[in-house]
């Protein structure tokens, strides 16, 4: 059975298999893996795709950002500050997880699903792995977050069981994708398994030749950050906000530099963080369809990764999904992060951004000035970014490779005994 589409427009029901995706968050515009899955499966016939997700994940996603296929949602209980209530909720969530696995088995059997897909995130991937094992269906796994230090693998409630189950999931997978070279090495070191690199990607559009133009109408450069504000970026955003609010950029001839945030933060959270200032604005969460326009109206795109010791394992191996959209915007990118992070390593290797490797307001301010005052530097960064985008982040190319992988795993089937590990 040939499942490789001729091109992105010719993915028809006769040429593609029935797929089942299982994950807390559906393929959508939330979270790195979910964003990539949304784009990978965008051309898949809706009658050949079923998605199983949590009601929590479904509520977090606007309807236009969901794929137009069948969605099956399950309840999910949030954590509680009360110790015993929290443990009870964990037990209930585990029972719900068993129901997810059972429903997945029924869907696989009734719809003759050819491949199960999941992301190592939360716990639903365990239900996917169990259903795939029971039905002998190939399971494609995507690793976008550090599974060794993840909330389930490292849970004190589950002890080492979560980590062992995650390794077993990867061991039995028909194919593994990893979001960065560092993540590939982690999968190899922890599980002895090879994986395929799958960087965040987006649709390639004709480049706008305006990376050298400052859209500041005399009031100062606009620095933009788009995304969620979690532990892998919070300290860097604090530093940038402080640099602007304390007037550090005035010393470098940029008295009116502004920071635009496109985040789901509320006004109360902005106040709690101490980010309430005339130079800081939060435009709210931006959908994938609106994001290109928002990015194009900025002067500098801010791409941070945390210096916090508590975030080290994550920033060493994970990779920011927004990088593809930033590159596609044709604007200069400013990377702030430690030298050991996957982001800084990649940016230095590819040369598409100005990089700040120290947690310093003065260094950050000098780098912002360097970008702001030099049209040549801005255009050079934008041009290099366009090259990197085409070479490494083209969703069309990834989609074609993905369907070739589908063809291979379906043809091979699921072995009756576990595959041998590769030497680590």
Three state DSSP letters for the chain: CCCCCCCCCCCCCCCCCCEEEECCCCCCCCCHHHHHHHHHCCCCCHHHEEEEEEHHHHHCCCHHHCCCCEEEEECCCCCCCCHHHHHHHHHHHHHHHHHHHHHHHHHHHHHCCCEEEEECCCCHHHHHHHHHHHHCCCEEEEECCCCCCCCCCCCCCCCCHHHHHHHHHHHHCCEEEECCHHHHHHHHHHHCCCCEECCCCECCCCCCCCCCCCCCCCCCCEEEEECCCCCCCHHHHHHHHHHHHCCHHHHHCCCCCEEEEECCCCHHHHHHHCCCECCEEECCCCCCCCHHHHHHCCCEEEEECCCCHHHHHHHHHCCCCCHHHHHHCCCCEEEECCCCCHHHHHHHHHCCEEEECCCCHHHHHHHHHHHHHCHHHHHHHHHHHHHHHHHHCEHHHHHHHHHHHHHHHHHHCCCCCCCCCCCC
Same domain, 68 and 150: yes
Per-residue confidence (pLDDT) for residue 174, from 0 to 100 = 96
Same domain, 114 and 137: yes
Q: How many domains is the chain partitioned into structurally? A: 2
Same domain, 53 and 195: yes
Residue-averaged pLDDT of the chain? 88
CA 267 to chain centroid, in Å, comes to 25
Same domain, 273 and 259: yes
CA 306 to chain centroid, in Å, comes to 16
Residue 422 lies in a domain: no
Q: Considering the entire predicted model, what is its pTM?
A: 0.88
Residue 54 lies in a domain: yes
Same domain, 176 and 255: no
Per-residue confidence (pLDDT) for residue 207, from 0 to 100 = 61
Same domain, 334 and 398: no
CA atoms within 13 A on the CB side of 66: 21
Same domain, 77 and 136: yes
Per-residue confidence (pLDDT) for residue 15, from 0 to 100 = 62
Same domain, 183 and 307: no
Q: Which residues pair with 390 in a beta bridge?
A: none
Same domain, 160 and 277: no
Q: What is the CATH number of the domain that holds 327?
A: 3.40.50.2000
Same domain, 366 and 408: no
Each residue's pLDDT, cut to its tens digit, for the chain (424 residues) gives 555 454 554 444 446 799 999 999 999 877 778 889 999 999 999 999 999 999 988 987 877 789 999 999 999 888 778 888 888 888 898 899 999 999 999 999 999 999 999 999 889 999 999 999 999 999 999 998 878 776 565 554 555 788 889 999 999 999 999 999 999 999 999 999 999 999 999 998 876 655 555 554 455 799 999 998 999 999 999 999 999 999 999 888 898 899 999 999 999 999 999 999 989 999 998 887 888 999 999 999 999 999 999 999 999 999 999 999 999 999 999 999 999 999 999 999 999 999 999 999 999 999 999 999 999 999 999 999 999 999 999 999 999 999 999 999 999 875 544 444 443 3
Per-residue confidence (pLDDT) for residue 216, from 0 to 100 = 45
Per-residue confidence (pLDDT) for residue 10, from 0 to 100 = 47
Please give the residue range of the domain that contains residue 303: 222-392
Residue 272 lies in a domain: yes
Per-residue confidence (pLDDT) for residue 418, from 0 to 100 = 45
Give, in order, the Cα–Cα distances in Å from 50 to each of 11, 41, 67, 71, 365. Answer: 16, 11, 10, 6, 48
Per-residue confidence (pLDDT) for residue 205, from 0 to 100 = 80
Contact 9, 45 (CB under 8 A): no
Contact 142, 37 (CB under 8 A): yes
Closest CA to 200 of 186, 183, 187: 183
Same domain, 261 and 156: no
Same domain, 110 and 125: yes
Residue 152 lies in a domain: yes
CA distance 276 to 169: 45
Give, in order, the Cα–Cα distances in Å from 154 to each of 77, 123, 349. Answer: 19, 12, 32
Residue 7 lies in a domain: no
Residue 420 lies in a domain: no
Residue 9 lies in a domain: no
pLDDT tens track for 244-263 = 999 999 888 898 899 999 99
Residue 8 lies in a domain: no
């Amino acid at each position: 059975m040939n499942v490789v589409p001729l091109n992105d427009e010719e993915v028809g029901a006769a040429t593609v298999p029935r797929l089942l995706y299982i994950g807390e968050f559906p393929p959508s515009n939330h979270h790195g893996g979910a964003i990539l899955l949304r784009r990978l499966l965008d051309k898949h016939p809706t009658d050949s795709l079923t998605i199983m997700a949590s009601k929590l994940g479904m509520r977090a996603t606007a309807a236009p950002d969901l794929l137009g296929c069948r969605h099956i949602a399950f309840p999910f209980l949030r954590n509680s500050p009360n110790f015993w209530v929290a443990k009870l909720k964990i037990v209930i969530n585990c029972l719900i997880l068993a129901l997810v696995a059972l429903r997945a088995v029924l869907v696989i059997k009734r719809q003759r699903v050819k491949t199960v897909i999941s992301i190592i995130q939360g716990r639903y991937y365990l239900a996917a792995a169990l259903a795939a094992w029971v039905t002998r269906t190939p399971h494609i796994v995507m690793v976008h977050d550090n599974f060794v230090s993840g909330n389930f693998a490292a849970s004190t409630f589950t002890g080492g069981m979560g980590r062992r189950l995650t390794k077993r999931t990867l061991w039995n997978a028909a194919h593994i994708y990893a979001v960065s070279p560092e993540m590939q090495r982690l999968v190899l070191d922890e599980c002895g398994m090879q994986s395929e690199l799958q960087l965040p990607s987006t649709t390639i559009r004709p480049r706008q030749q305006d990376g050298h133009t400052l859209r500041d109408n005399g009031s100062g450069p606009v620095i933009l950050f788009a995304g969620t504000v979690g532990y892998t970026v919070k300290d860097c955003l604090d530093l940038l906000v402080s640099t602007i609010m304390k007037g550090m950029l005035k010393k470098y001839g940029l008295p009116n530099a502004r920071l635009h945030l496109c985040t789901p933060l509320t006004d109360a959270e902005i106040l709690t963080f101490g980010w309430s200032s005339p130079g800081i604005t939060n435009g709210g969460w931006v959908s994938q369809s609106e994001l290109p326009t928002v990015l194009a109206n900025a002067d500098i795109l801010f791409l941070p990764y945390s210096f916090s010791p508590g975030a080290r394992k994550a920033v060493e191996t994970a990779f920011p999904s927004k990088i593809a959209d930033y590159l596609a915007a044709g604007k200069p990118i400013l990377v702030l992060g430690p030298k050991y992070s996957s982001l800084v390593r990649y940016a230095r290797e590819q040369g598409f951004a100005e990089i700040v490797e120290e947690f310093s307001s003065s260094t950050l301010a000098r780098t912002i000035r360097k970008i702001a005052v030099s049209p040549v530097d801005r255009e050079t960064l934008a041009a290099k970014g366009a090259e990197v985008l085409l070479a490494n982040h083209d969703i069309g190319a990834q989609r074609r490779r993905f369907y070739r992988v589908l063809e291979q795993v379906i043809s091979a089937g699921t072995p009756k005994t576990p595959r041998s590990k590769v030497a680590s």
